[in-house]
Structure formats: structure tokens, C-alpha cells
Chain A
Amino acid sequence: MIDFGTKVVAGVTPGRGGTKVEGVPVFDSVREAVHRRRANASIIFVPAPYAKDAAIEAIEGGLKLVVIITERIPFHDCLDLMPYARSRGCTVIGPNCPGLASPGQAKMGIMPNQLFKEGDAGVISRSGTLTYEIVNAMTEAGFGQTTCIGIGGDPIIGTSMVDALAMFQKDRKTKRIVVVGEIGGTAEEEAADFIKRRVTKPVVAYVAGRTAPPGKRMGHAGAIIQGNRGTAESKVKAFEEAGVPVAEYPVGIPKLLAAT
């Protein structure tokens, strides 16, 4: 993150206050970090059982952007967490996500630095490593990124696909948008509907899980197909009806971008 240009001003680990990691001072609490180092955003790697506590501490500490990388957080914890964040005007990204990166500016996440290149495409993804694959293909084909947001694969997330689309629509530097979806839930269908009504920038998409058998849970809490809802077919159809071309292969994204 530091190599990417992020100003990492403090670390927080209870009991480790007073030490330093890579020259960055560590504090016992978020309050101290905010008070002493004026932190204004937080990235959370705390293990699942303690992540809710850490996130609430960060929100309560006045941070306005909180990225939760941690996977396997019980979703009932997120049911409590997200309304609290909203009530405090805090944007939460994740959980169970690779974070976000704005090439040339900063990164709050675990994506490999070398994949990115400055450019005019915004990337929204529910997945981690699949995003690396797609961003890598984009960069190789010359399509750089304004920001790449890994929104996370869990059922309850802080920033939805629609939220992220609205932000990219507003962002003047973003000229085109890439959406990486997967089976389960109805985020892609809602995104397609939002694109139809509100997004004027060109959008292209990829949907993972076309061959997943119904009823099987594929790792992500999000990746489960229930009946006819949330299937890959339904998502691809929704996108196509909204004028969003869907790539067959992840590496097909740059070709679709070239046509935008």
C-alpha cells in the first residue's frame, strides 16, 4: 500500500501500542491513531470473530471510509454494522473483498500493485482473484483504471454494485465501467436496472458461475443459486437487456472495452 502511494499513518493492534511496523507507528486504539496521526480511513484485516468490534471502533472513531478485507464474518454482524456506518456517514467497502485501488493515487487493499495502470475505466467486482485476472488483461491491452473496487462476495456488504455504479457515473475521470459479477443474489439484476435508468457511460460485464450446478454453495456465501433467481442466465440476460455486453471469457473484457 505504501509503495502504491497510500499514506499509511498508523497501525492499530491492541497491546502493540508504541511499536513500529515499516516505520509506521502502532497504537492501541483507533481513537489514539486518529488523534495523534489524523487518520481519516481504515483498512481492517482483523480475524472474523473480532472484525465487527474493529469496524465499529473505526466508525465510532470518526473515520469516513472503512475497508473490511476479512472473510467469513457472520452476516448478522454485518446486519448490525452497516446501518451504524450509514448513520455515521461512513462508507464501508466489503467485507470479504480485496479492497480498492486508484492507480497513481492510493490503494486500500491487497491487490497486487503491478496489475494496475492509470486510465479511464472504473472496475467493480464481487470477487478477488478473478478481478486480478481481468484487471491484468485490461492493463496488458492498454486499458488503465481510475479506481478498482472489490465490493466483496458476502450477502451483506457496505457498498453495493449499484452504489459503486453511482459513484463511477459521477466521477469525471471515469469514462467507462467494468462490472464483474457472479451467481447468487440479485446484485447484477439490480445493477442492470440501475444502468438502464441512470448510467450514461458505457458498461461491460463478466459473470462467473455459468456452469455451477443449482443448490451448491460455491465458497462465497454469495455464490449460491436458489431456484431461478440469481442464476448466471438471469444476470447475463439482465445485462444484455440494459445494453451491457457480457464477455464469455474474463480476458474478453478488453475487446468489449475497445468497442466502447
Chain B
Amino acid sequence: MKFLEYKAKEIFARYGIPIPRGAIASTPDGIVNPPLPCMVKAQVLVGGRGKAGGIKPAESLDEARSVVGQILGMDIHGYRVKEVYLEERLDIGRELYLGLTIDRSAREPLLMASAKGGIDIEAVPRDQIYMEHIPAEVGIQPYVLRSLLKQLGLAKEVGEQFASVVTNAYYLFRKEDAELVEINPLVVTKDGRVVAGDAKLVIDDNAEYRHPEYANLDQDRTPLEQEAHDKGITFIQLDGDIGVIANGAGLTMATLDILSLKGGKGGTFLDLGGTDDPAKVKQAFELLIKANPSVILLNIFGGITKADTVALGVKQALEEMHTKIPVVARIKGVNEAQAKEMLRSIGTYPAETVEEAAELAVKVKSGGA
């Protein structure tokens, strides 16, 4: 789950991380009590909005209204701006960077900080980024904070505030099941306050059940992807035209790769997972059909998955949706013979291997089969 800046800041504030005063608006007339002068910031789930013209200053309420009007509805790297955040303009002294994520290879949380904040962290030389693993079983210890402050050259008073932000951010990272907590810039104002200038927060989708309060957040999904998510189906729309459905993420990806090697292009990534429940298969197929592919390529390699009940779901979906979309099916698993028979009876194109299925899908699409 990704969070818009202002949503992330609400959560930051809850954990005692200082944030600037701000007001959210979705129409120019909907601005209530904005801090003035302010920065008007587009709220989108994508980086680089500043350069794209999504952050602009305003001195007065009138100017704020006009700037809000300009930014709302803008397209920023494919994301339409639906909300803007009007935020107190900070008197910036220094800009720092703070990030918390996980290091998969070390299997531990990773704390990153730099005196060079305010720019893309990827552009900061490695030796100017302070990195420290935080073993989950011990958490952040004072010695880490001491060495961090020394590295960044922060004076006592600012240092204390910074240390408190780091501690609170780590606490948030653990408590909220975060994948990423990033504050860039973490601003030190001229009068010596440490304030989160921006806020990035990504929470582990697998932990959604522990955070029901975030369930209805707008994510960067297409309407069909949202529908799939609500039904618990892993479904991603791609820019090709062949609907790919398989079981298991690795196999689904491999099927897309093979399709591309055979000259086709996948339009969907639909991972059935371990299900062989016909109702679930039917739901998945309904989604796929709504995506309107030119051909559907089904690739099932079942272990304990029952091939015949998968086939039953396919059959029910195709019959009820009255679709004319051709289906190429490769299916292996328990009760494979019955499955193949059922799929043949509804006019799908059978294939023995995934390579054969991919070739066939490309041929069917161009009318050659």
C-alpha cells in the first residue's frame, strides 16, 4: 500500500514526527484555513512531481486558489492529480535525508541517512549515505544514534530532534508494517526546528489485515486491477493484447517471457495461485474477459491443483459471458485427462507444453490456426 504525502504525514504526526501545518483540497473553492504563504503540492503516488510542475508557491488565498486550479487535473507521469496539499512554507536551513527499508540479503531493517537531502537519493554518492542495519530483535540503540549524529555533523539541539525523528520513524516502520519510510528532505529550519518536508510511506500489502483502517486508500490500480484486488486475485494489466493466466507468480512471469520469445505480447498478468476452486477460477476468467484480450493463454501446471475443477471454472465463465475470445489452454495436474476433455468440449485450443501454447496463441491471434 502506497500513501499520498498528506496521508503519510498524518501517520508521521501520530508517531511524533514533526510535520509542517497544511490543508488538503480537491477543488479551488474547497481550501479551508490554508497556511499562508504556502506551497501547493500535487498529491500523486509517483515521484518527480516537483520537476513536472506539481509543486508551486502561493502568497495569498487568491493566488492559492488559482495555483490549485492549475495543478488539479494535471497529469504527472501518468497520474491525474485529484488532490492538492497546501503546506506551510518552511524557512529552510539545511536539507537532510532519512530512509528506512529492509535489506533482503542481510534480512534486517536498514537505516539510511545523509546530509545531502532534498535531491534524489540515488544521485547522492554512496560514501555520503550513512547506512546502518538495525537488527529487529534489538531495535535502534543509542550508540547508532550517536554515530549517526557525528557522521552528519549535527549540533546538539538539532541532533536531539533528529535522533527523536529517527527513533520515531523506526517505531512507525515496525508498528505499521512498513516496507519504506522515507523523509526527503528532512528539513532543518533556520530557527533550528527539524521537520519532515516530504513523506513517503509504503506498507506491506500482506499486512493489510492488521491495518484495516488503510483498506480504502486509493492505490495506483486500474479499475479492473482494483476489482481484482477486492476479490483477492493477483491481476496486473500490461500493454500487450494476449491475456495470460497461469498459476504461481514465477510460472506466470515465465509464461509472459515465453510468449514474448514466440512473438506475442502479454496484456495481463493473472496469477491464479494455488486455487482450484471453480468459482474462483470463474471470477478470474471474468476479469480476464473484461480486459478484452485478443486471445487468452491459460497455463496451469498443477501439483495438488485439480486440473478438472480449474477447467470447470473456465467452462462456466466462458459459457456465462458468451465470449468469442479464443482460449489456448495448456493444463497439467491431477485429473488432467478429464480437464482436457472438458476444455476440448468448449472449443479451446489444446497444447501440451507452454512453448506450444505460446506459439499457438500468437497464431490464433493472427487468424492462422
- A153 contacts B by Cβ under 8 Å: yes
Residues of B within 8 A of A251 (CB): 353, 355
- Measured between alpha carbons, how far is A248 from B254 in the docked complex, in Å? 10
**Cβ of B251 under 8 Å from chain A:** yes
Task: Report if A249-B261 is in contact (Cβ < 8 Å); known contacts: A155-B102, A155-B104, A190-B105.
Answer: yes
Interface residues in B114-139 by Cβ distance below 8 A to A read 122, 135-137
Q: Which residues of A contact B333 (CB under 8 A)?
A: 112
Is the pair A74, B204 in contact by a Cβ cutoff of 8 Å? yes
A171-197 near B? 1/0 per residue, CB < 8 Å: 000000000101101110010000000
Chain B contacts for A190, CB-based, 8 A: 105
What's the minimum C-beta distance from A222 to chain B, rounded to whole angstroms?
Answer: 8
Distance A209 CA – B236 CA, assembled complex (angstroms) = 14
A73 at the interface (CB under 8 A from B): yes
Contact A133 B107 (CB under 8 A): no
CB contacts (< 8 Å) of A130 on chain B: these are 248, 250-251, 253-254
A220 interfacial by beta-carbon distance below 8 Å: yes
- Chain A's nearest CB lies how many Å from the CB of B356? 11
B43 to chain A, nearest CB (A): 19
Q: Are A76 and B207 in contact (CB under 8 A)?
A: yes
Q: A156-B107, A218-B269, A248-B261 are in contact. Are A208 and B303 (CB under 8 A)?
A: no
> Judging by beta carbons under 8 Å apart, are A75 and B206 in contact?
yes
Rounded to whole Å, the gap between the CB of A44 and the closest CB of chain B is: 15
> CB-CB < 8 A to B360: which residues of A?
none
Q: Are A83 and B137 in contact (CB under 8 A)?
A: yes
Query: Are A249 and B253 closer than 8 Å at their CB atoms?
Result: no
Does the CB pair B260–A132 fall under 8 Å? no
Across the interface, B258 reaches (CB within 8 A) one of A112, A180, A227, A249, namely A249
Chain B contact surface mostly: mixed
Q: Determine the main DSSP class of A at the interface with B.
A: loop
* A80 at interface by CB-CB < 8 Å: yes
Chain A hits for B258, CB < 8 A? 249-250
A-B contact count (CB 8 A): 154
Q: Which residues of B in the span 248-304 have a Cβ within 8 Å of any Cβ on A? A: 248-254, 256-261, 266, 269, 271, 273-274, 301-304
A37 to chain B, nearest CB (A): 25
Q: Hey, which chain B residues are within 8 Å of A78, CB to CB?
A: 107
Please name 7 further chain A to chain B contacts, defined as beta carbons within 8 Å, in addition to the given A75-B102, A129-B247, sorted by A numbering.
Answer: A49-B210, A79-B108, A130-B251, A183-B253, A219-B252, A249-B261, A250-B254
**Chain B positions within 8 Å of A75 at CB level:** 102, 177, 179, 204, 206
Taking a contact as CB atoms closer than 8 A, the residue among A79, A98, A126, A206 that contacts B107 in the complex is A79
Q: Give every chain A residue within 8 A of B113 (Cβ-Cβ).
A: none
* B13 / chain A contacts, CB cutoff of 8 Å: none
B273 contact set on A, CB distance < 8 A: 71, 219
* Count of interface residues, chain B, beta-carbon cutoff 8 Å: 52
Given A98-B303, A186-B104, answer yes or no on A129-B251 (Cβ-Cβ < 8 Å): yes
Q: Mark A124-149, 1 if CB is under 8 A from B, else 0.
A: 01111111110010000000000000
What's the interface size class on A, roughly? 35 or more
In the A-B complex, the 8 residue pairs with the smallest Cβ-Cβ separation, listed nearest first, are: A127-B250, A219-B249, A129-B248, A130-B250, A74-B207, A79-B136, A129-B251, A112-B303
Docked pose: A77 CA to B142 CA in angstroms: 24
Cβ–Cβ contact A79 & B102, under 8 A: yes
Contacts of A98 in B (CB 8 A): 303
- Docked complex Cα distance between A209 and B355 (Å): 16
Cβ-defined contact, A210 with B250, below 8 A? no
Pairs A–B under 8 Å by Cβ, sample size 24: A74-B207, A74-B210, A76-B174, A76-B177, A78-B107, A98-B303, A127-B248, A128-B251, A129-B251, A129-B301, A132-B303, A155-B104, A156-B104, A183-B253, A208-B257, A211-B253, A212-B253, A212-B269, A213-B239, A217-B236, A218-B269, A219-B271, A227-B122, A250-B254
Please indicate the chain B residues that have their CB under 8 angstroms from the CB of A127 in the complex.
Answer: 248-251
B210 CB, min distance to chain A CBs, angstroms: 7
Question: Do B177 and A208 touch (CB < 8 A)?
Answer: no
Evaluate contact between B253 and A209: CB separation under 8 angstroms: yes
* Cα separation A56 to B218 with both chains bound (whole Å): 35
Closest approach, in angstroms, between the C-beta of B224 and any C-beta of chain A? 14
Bound CA span A125–B253, Å: 14
B257 interface neighbour in A125, A160, A209, Cβ under 8 Å = A209
CA distance A183 to B252 in the complex (A): 13
Residues of B within 8 A of A133 (CB): 251, 254, 301, 354
**A80 and B137 contact, Cβ closer than 8 Å, known pairs A186-B105, A220-B249:** yes
In the complex, the answer to whether B271 meets A132 with C-beta atoms within 8 Å is no
Chain B residues numbered 178-213 whose CB sits less than 8 Å from any CB in chain A: 179, 204-207, 209-210
